[in-house]
Chain A
Amino acid sequence: MLNFIARRVVNMIFLLIIVSFVGFWIIQLPPGSILDTQIQRLRAQGGNLPESLIQALRTRYGVDDPFYVQYWKWISRSLQGDFGTSFETDQTVAERIYNRLGISVSLSLTALLFTWLVSIPIGVYSATHRYSWPDYIITFVQFLGLSIPGFLLALILLITASRLWDQPIGGLFSPQYADAPWSVAKLMDFLGHVWIAIVVLAVGATAGLTRVMRANLLDVLNMQYIQTARAKGLQEATVIWKHAVRNAIHPLVMSLGTLLPALIVGETLIAIILSLPTIGPLYLDALRSQDMYLAGTILVMLSALLLIGNLIADLLLAWVDPRVRLE
């Protein structure tokens, strides 16, 4: 097992190095940088910028350096936890990212938990009651859930909520609580806002996973060991949950790796509509304004999350299914 983990970790680190290189290369592809915009804005505001100042700015941000020098500067600093200064504001990249990444990760983890808690029981029910009316209804709702874009669901929920309570409920807090210290009232307000985000984030993945769970469980239920388990007089619940589900759950464990980063950024549109202060909108802004250190850092961080997620999924899988370890 230790050997297995070590091999996976080394592989991951190697991959991450290449990913950071390629990711940075893609981010710096568009010609020009945010510095050009910056200089133009300064010029528009107040007359002439001396050529020497521009030159000083260019050297400071290193925009004239060849690509590999830029990459080296960026990656060597990143490893020391200094991701550089965002061009757009004078905050450091680290500051801008951590604020939002925290919210993103906790929202996504909650959504993931929600996904699992809903899709496993429903998938199991749907498989064990195949071709019954509830199963047909579940199947139809699944297709609907897969086909409705998350941001539309966000809009519908927002409209319904604003009609019901007669107040807009985007964001994570009502205006009066936004800067207030934490209290019971603020917590209630927060919960009142956050459930929409969690439900909307989770719907697509829940529909997909329920479908997968159903299909897998149906396959497993045809196996002979299930027949054996029933034949020896086990309770149906034990047969289903201990023998069948445990063997059908692999893809759900596997999905952990891809789902987490997908949830974190995949829902940029939702975050825009719900005006959530998450990492997605920040990434979009950084891309649009060619703030390359910020965008590059986010892209590589998300890739790292994806790889770590995959690693955790592999380890979990090895724990759930001993056969994997022997590969």
Chain B
Amino acid sequence: MATAAGELPRAARGKKQEDVGQIPQWKLMVRRFRQSKLSVAALFVLGVMYLFMILGDFIAPYQHDVLDSNNPFAPPTQIVWGPDGPGIYGLKQELDQEKFQWVYTIDTSTIYPIRFFVQGYEYRFLGFVPSKLHLFGVEAPPDVNARIFLWGADKEGRDLFSRVLKGSQVSLTLGFFGVFLFVIIGSIVGTASGYFGGVLDNLIQRIIELIRSFPDLPLYMALAAALPLNVSITVRYFLITVVIAVIGWTGLAREVRGKVLAFRGADYTAAAIAAGAGHWHVITHHLIPNAMSHIVVVAMLAIPGSIGLETALSFLGLGILPPAVSWGILLRDAQTVQAVVTYPWLLIPVILLIITVLSFNLLGDGVRDAVDPYA
């Protein structure tokens, strides 16, 4: 299954194949990966997203959970060029008596300048360095309603841009760790099942069959609903990760088992055993390295599903719970047509989610082609 960009004309590939066998395998992989332009673009997009996530608190102008009754559903702020650089106008809030909505009018009398590298709320940079420095902020007297909402505000007047950044710290990592965890479980169990066989294999296969007899999403929902509610955000985050892993490992374990069964019968394994190698040596030196490329591909392709799953659970109110933020939580505001037609910027988290999932899919496709560079 090659993507459009992954298929090069035969001639171009033929020319490059001369030094195959003379350069390390990882170089071949990198070369093959770079041939699929879509995957490289996806890697770049994801790189930018994760960079924004890491620098989230520095980039965010406001705290994600500070309510502001002056700005519920404030539209994205228009940025104008003032006497000293970019700036914004203040907003006036009025209640539309007919539709019962807040309407905002721009007060064009004064331009409040946007300043870079300003002092703002206190946070811990990268989780441990205390800092108050923020990338940008608006210089305005406290009694004026001039706040910068790059992506508008939600129903409580919270800055959507800051909330999306904060939410990405959950949404972009939880699915990742979930997959990481189930890759470890799946690899160990699958290897054990395929290598030792017999009763152990039978038992493991029956357990997998049992888990697979449940439909996916309902089982995830039931497990997530069984998690305790009154725990800290970190614990909840960890528990959701475990839920994703507990069900997800079965598919991988089956595939690893199949691979291990094949490699176990190979001549080099028989040679290693004849030369007196122990189980541990055979598994870590012959079986795992051979199955590795397959495991990596399965893991890469599982990440987007896992990210989507976290979002879906949070959206349903079974995953991450407010006051914590994830993209799924943000989507809860965008679930009615009414809200989305009136406040279209509430859809921004959805667009980011689509870009993320699409990028991971494309990246996984490129990696699948790259791990087998001799093909």
Q: Which residues of A contact B (CB under 8 A)?
A: 15-16, 18-19, 22-23, 26-27, 29-30, 131, 136, 139-140, 143-144, 146-149, 151-152, 155, 158-159, 162-163, 168, 170, 211, 215, 261-262, 264-266, 268-269, 272-273, 283-284, 287-288, 290, 295, 298-299, 302-303, 305-307
Contact = CB atoms under 8 A, between A and B. Distances in A.
Contact of A306 (B210, B214, B361): B214
Q: Is the contact region of chain A dominated by helix, strand, or loop, or is it mixed?
A: helix
A71 to B, nearest CB: 15
B2 to A, nearest CB: 10
A29 B222 CA distance: 9
Interface in B20-55: none
B3 to A, nearest CB: 7
Interface stretch (B69-77, B147-155, B272-280, B309-317): B309-317
Interface stretch (B108-116, B179-187, B195-203, B334-342): B334-342
B214 A299 contact: yes
A262 B214 contact: no
| Chain B interface size, under 10 / 10 to 19 / 20 to 34 / 35 or more | 35 or more
Contacts of B375: none
B213 A266 contact: no
A309 to B, nearest CB: 10
Contact of B217 (A16, A26, A27, A268): A268
B106 interface: no
B372 interface: no
Contacts of A158: 337
A268 B361 contact: no
B209 A162 contact: no
Q: Which of B217, B223, B347 has the most CB of A within 10 A?
A: B217
B218 A143 contact: no
B215 interface: yes
Contact of A302 (B215, B308, B340, B357): B215
Contacts of B228: 30
Nearest to B217: A266
Interface in B128-159: none
A288 to B, nearest CB: 7
Nearest to A262: B215
A262 B214 CA distance: 10
A265 B220 CA distance: 12
